[in-house]
Amino acid sequence: MAGRRLRFLGVALALAACDGEGASDAGASDAATSDAGASDAAAADAGSATADAGPDAGALDAGGPTDAGPPVDAALGPGAWENRAPLLQANSECAVAELEGKIYVIGGYPSSRVTVDTVQVYDVAMDSWRLTTPLPIPLNHTVAAAVGGRIYVIGGQGSASGTEYLDVTLEYDPASESWRERAPMPSPRSAMASAVIDGRIYVAGGRPPRGDDFAVYEPARDLWTPLPPVPTQRNHLAAAAIGGRVYVAGGRFGGGFTSEVTGVLDIFDPETSTWSSGAPMLTPRGGVNGIAVGGCFYVFGGEHATGVYQENEVYHAASDSWRALAPLPVPVHGVTGAGFVGGYVYAPGGGTMQGGSSGSTIHQVFRVAGTCPP
């Protein structure tokens, strides 16, 4: 078990190919807009990859920071990266969610760019993987969120190069390891991001022409409601919830990875149903991943026309400010969602080269202690 706490030593791992978008994606249209402005403050706390960690968070999901995980090694210091057991199957353009101390890696595709229905489940306490019941349909570029002891998988597409985006909503029950279909999204979308507040799943962005689409799903009522559009249309973005607000960061304007990227931070307040702007990311990029923990929004990875980003940046909501943290030992893109358990952010899988032919089995984790101001 000691290997679970080994830090990456900056090793350039020889990885099986992972994913992202290939040249076939690049033809998708570009539509630029806007940039970011000044602040919106928020209070905060810890949560799962998409769950708000405010005072109501305990009612939303089992799991999160109270789950037992590997003991924190204080000798590693703040912001240390480590690795864990690799995925069973190489993957990218997949969705990740955490529920009750288990990390779910859902759909996506390996270097073959053939979309899969696979659901891989990582047990944090055991540092081990297994497969559970596959998705009803293969999906890539989907999103996943945990609410009320269930996992919800939303939207995406069925092939790597197609433009037929889906409005599907699927519910997974871990007790029976079964899936059922729920009410569809108001519009078909792919390459979105999601965040959870008070048991509701907010889904932002998507590939053109759905880059400004924004809607909320209430699992308890099986009901979707359209919301005011995202001010900055984009896809391959990151989203998280802090203090009852949705934070939407980064992304790109066009459908392909060679299109223009952005560092804009848009903030949605469900109480007033209005958007505001926060400080922009230090490094604009698309293909990013992110998670909220302890009042901070961690955004890492991404891709551009000639490579993959190693950047790992944290946004402190209360001060509306960003700072750089220890970079990813192995830069990745093509994963939406992460898990937070026992003081660590879990970031499994991802593409290690730009485009869609580099899905990997890598499983990187980040120790957040000392990285988020009080």
pLDDT tens digit sequence for 299-322: 999 999 889 999 999 999 999 999
Percent of the chain with pLDDT over 70: 79
The fraction of the chain above a pLDDT of 90, given in percent, is: 74
* More confidently predicted of 14 and 321: 321
Burial of 218 (0-12, 13-18, 19+ CB in 10 A): middle
**Can you say how many angstroms the Cα of residue 128 is from the centroid of all Cα atoms in its chain?**
21
The pLDDT of residue 298 is above 80: yes
- Separation in Å, CA 135 to CA 47, 115, 129, 209, 331: 25, 11, 17, 26, 28
Residue 9 has pLDDT above 90, yes or no: no
CA 160, 251, 307, 97 dihedral sign is negative
11 confidence band (pLDDT: 50, 70, 90): very low
Please report, for the chain, the start and end positions of each structural domain, with discontinuous segments joined by +: 24-367
Please calculate the CA angle 253-147-246 and round it to the nearest 5 degrees. Answer: 40
pLDDT at 209 over 80: yes
Residue 70 has pLDDT above 70, yes or no: no
Residue 156, Ramachandran bin (φ over 0: left; ψ between -120 and 50: alpha; else beta): left
Over residues 28-56, the mean pLDDT reads 35
Supply the pLDDT for residue 79. Answer: 83
Higher pLDDT, 48 or 260: 260
Q: What is the pLDDT of residues 270-290, one digit of tens each?
A: 999 999 999 999 999 999 999
DSSP codes, 227-240: -SPPSS--BS-EEE
What's residue 78's pLDDT?
65
206 or 355: whose pLDDT is higher? 206
Query: What is the rounded CA–CA span in Å between residue 64 and residue 149?
Result: 12
The answer, yes or no, to whether residue 4 has pLDDT greater than 80, is no
pLDDT confidence of residue 370: 87
- For the chain, what percentages of helix, strand and coil (3-state, to nearest 5) are there? 5, 40, 55
**pTM, entire model:** 0.82
Q: What is the average per-residue pLDDT within 122-139?
A: 98
Q: What is the pLDDT of residue 355?
A: 87
- Per-residue pLDDT for 216 more than 60? yes
* Contacts within 8 Å (CB) and 24+ apart, 215-224: 215/185, 215/186, 215/187, 216/270, 217/152, 217/154, 217/169, 217/183, 217/185, 219/147, 219/148, 219/150, 219/152, 219/171, 219/182, 220/148, 222/182, 222/183, 223/183, 224/169, 224/183, 224/184, 224/185, 224/186
In the numeric block, the tokens 């402190």 are attached to: 316
pLDDT of residue 8: 35
Would you state the structure tokens that stand for residue 126, as one six-digit string?
């055991």
Mean pLDDT of all residues in 61-68: 31
| Model pLDDT, residue 136 | 98
What rounded mean pLDDT belongs to the chain?
84
Superfamily grouping for domain 24-367:
Kelch-type beta propeller (2.120.10.80)
Q: Which residue has the higher pLDDT, 147 or 29?
A: 147
**What's at 15, amino acid-wise?**
L
Q: What angle do CA 334, 345, 266 make, to 5 degrees?
A: 60
